[in-house]
Amino acid sequence: MDFITLISFIAIVVILLMIYNYVNYKVPDSLKDIHSITFFSIVLSRLIKREGGHDKLYLRCKEYFERDGVIKMSFRGKWICTITDPVIVKEMCLRTDVFPKLMFNEILPNSAADRHFGVNVVHSNGDVWKRHRRVCNPAFKTLPVHLFVEKALKLMDILEKVDNKPIEVRDFMQRLTLDILGKVAFNFDFNNLEDPNNPYVTAYNEVQKLFRNPLVTIFQIDKIPILNQLIFRKIDKLNNLFEDIIKEKRKSLAAGHFNGDLLELMLKACDDPDNQILSDTELRCNLAIFMVAGHDTTAAALSSLLYLLAIHKDVQEKAREEVLRVLGDDLTPSAEQHAALKYLNMAIRENLRLYPPVGSLPLRVVTEDVKIKNFVIPAGTPVNLFIYGLHHSPKLWNNPEEFLPERFENEHENYSWLAFGGGSRICLGINFSLIEQRMVLCLLLRKYEILLPQNSIHKNGLKFKNTMSPYPIDLIFKRRNE
């Protein structure tokens, strides 16, 4: 190919891309005054700077978030409004009829996500959601605290052998929270702490990797025949595991065995004549979504809090003093002791403000025109609530970038702290996660001083690789002289 042909070819490709962009990303008149960024520019800046957390999006658009409470982003041919305006944020939580969720089976029919998660308590609206929630609610009310303890103690056994050497806590916490979730949700031992390469963990991790892979999430290779069979095979392996667990559980319940895990309580709720039952497929989809909703989120929360405690020695000391005072000789807290750990709870809330594991809520779509200040978001527009932006707004928080657990001594404005969402769609696993976090922190603070290695890349704040995960966080757990 000669030079002229090459240049002409490139020019044609660029023009075609521009036409494609113009046709697909044409901004509706009512949205044109809202500040916009393109998905392409986010990806590009991620590739160039190799950093891409919610912090970057907030910093880049802070002026507009603070002034207008909304920006728009292009994604797959649609403009999505990302909202921090406190008035609309409250509406989004309370008016589920105006802000219903976008559903996998509607936006991504026959996709990998649809095949694995289907319709469940997170991905449903209206009466269907009510039916799912009615079955799940009782299970999360009476949490089997004893099932959390076994794995939390296993973590301590493993740490014992590592003493003083840096440990990558993100991976460690992910292994722990998967084990706890398996035990508490359906009495299944993933054994990720002791044997991270076993076939169950591998099957689970392979599916999670799929949903983090941009080829699947953005380019939708799971829609391409033949290729999708390779992807679906991995998904079916995990789906089958969940289905077997449900079948086994029914058998063991019929034989009179009961240990109080969530699946048992859900199956019992299905037997209640006042409840409409969930099918086994629906139960399976709920187990799949509990794993995603409850695994990485709590692991991220624990990792960032351990990091914050390492760099804020005063907070670490104060939290430790409280743990030792409240628990005495007990290793893990009782129900009353959980409630008495006031300062630890404040530190947990402050960490979830500073580093919310769910930085923005899953997409909703507005069913009627919504007015934000001088803008109108037309019916049919996808919107998301930007929790990170809300949590870092100087209008809502003094010194928002500082880690100050004391700020939670006083009440703060409703709907300014939304780490677990709000309104009727508020997280079902709040207590699950808080019990887990307090239990692990009590064990660790009693026994170890938590330190950040001198050469850490996170010396001046956590550096995020992408919206969900920071770069590896090495911490040292130094045995205390009791």
Residues contributing to the annotated binding site? 427
DSSP state at residue 462: P
Interatomic CA distance for residues 223 and 231, integer angstroms: 10
| Gap between the Cα atoms of 268 and 138, Å rounded | 9
SS3 337: helix
Using CB under 6 A, which of 428, 443, 451, 473 touches ligand HEM? 428
Residue 421 contacts ligand HEM per CB under 6 A: yes
How far apart are CB 366 and ligand HEM at their closest, in Å?
15
Q: Give CA–CA dist 133/469, Å, rounded.
A: 29
Q: Beta strand pairing status for 166-168 and 375-377?
A: unpaired
Taking CB under 6 A as the binding criterion, the range among 64-72, 102-110, 199-207, 427-435 that sits at the site for ligand HEM is: 427-435
Q: How far is the CB of 131 from ligand HEM (least distance, A)?
A: 11
Distance, CA of 42 to chain centre: 20
Contact by Cβ (8 Å): 378, 28: yes
Nearest-approach distance from CB 291 to ligand HEM, in angstroms: 8
β-strands 474-479, 364-365 pairing: unpaired
Binding residues for heme: 427
Q: Which residue in 84, 111, 297, 456 binds ligand HEM (CB under 6 A)?
A: 297
Site string for ligand HEM, 353-392 (x = CB under 6 A): ----xx--xx------------------------------
Residue 425 CB, shortest distance to ligand HEM, in Å, is 4
If binding is defined by CB under 6 A, does position 95 make contact with ligand HEM?
no
Choose between 216 and 387: whose C-beta lies nearer to ligand HEM. 387
Residue 49 CB, shortest distance to ligand HEM, in Å, is 26
Q: Does 122 bind ligand HEM (CB under 6 A)?
A: yes
Distance CA 62, CA 60 (A): 6
Q: Contact region for ligand HEM (CB under 6 A) — 21-29, 82-90, 295-303, 365-373? A: 295-303
> Can residue 183 be called a binding residue for ligand HEM (CB under 6 A)?
no
Please answer whether residues 365 and 270 qualify as being in contact, where contact means their C-beta atoms are separated by less than 8 angstroms. Answer: no
DSSP code string of 162-226: HTTSEEEHHHHHHHHHHHHHHHHHHS----TTT-TTSHHHHHHHHHHHHHH-HHHHTT-GGGSTT
Q: Which residue's CB is nearer to ligand HEM, number 333 or number 421?
A: 421
Total residues at interface with ligand HEM (CB under 6 A): 22
- For 86, list phi and psi in degrees, rounded to 5: -60, -35
The site map against ligand HEM for 236-275 (x = CB under 6 A) is: ----------------------------------------
Task: Give one DSSP letter per residue of 355-369, joined into a string.
Answer: S-SS-SPPPEE-SS-
How many C-beta atoms lie closer than 10 Å to residue 317's C-beta?
A: 13
| Residue 153 to residue 187: CA distance in whole angstroms | 17
Q: Which amino acid is at 408?
A: F
Q: Single out the residue of 272, 316, 306 nearest to residue 138, CA to CA.
A: 272
Q: Does 465 contact ligand HEM by CB under 6 A?
A: no
Q: Are 177 and 292 in contact (CB under 8 A)?
A: no
**Would you say 302 and 312 are in contact if contact means Cβ atoms under 8 Å apart?**
no
Q: Which is nearer to ligand HEM, 69 or 421 (CB)?
A: 421
Least Å distance, CB 473 to ligand HEM, is 16
- Contact status: 71 vs ligand HEM (CB under 6 A): no
Task: Compute the least distance from the CB of residue 50 to ligand HEM, in Å.
Answer: 25
In terms of Cα–Cα distance, which of 217, 294, 220, 234 is closest to 466? 217
Give the separation between CA 267 and CA 34, rounded to whole angstroms: 48
End-to-end Cα distance, the chain: 76
The least distance separating ligand HEM from the CB of residue 386, rounded to whole angstroms, comes to 12
Residue nearest to ligand HEM (CB): 429
Among 294, 382, 389, 470, binds ligand HEM (CB under 6 A): 294
Nearer to ligand HEM, 228 or 384 (CB): 384
Using CB under 6 A as the binding rule, whether residue 80 contacts ligand HEM is answered as no
Judged by CB, which is closer to ligand HEM: 246, or 419?
A: 419
Which of 419, 450, 451, 452 binds ligand HEM (CB under 6 A)? It is 419
CB atoms within 10 A of CB 189: 14
Please identify, using beta-carbon distances, which residue of 228 and 437 lies nearer to ligand HEM.
437
CB of residue 402 to ligand HEM, shortest distance in Å: 21
Contact positions toward ligand HEM, by CB under 6 A? Answer: 121-122, 133, 290, 293-294, 297-298, 301, 357-358, 361-362, 419-421, 425, 427-429, 432-433
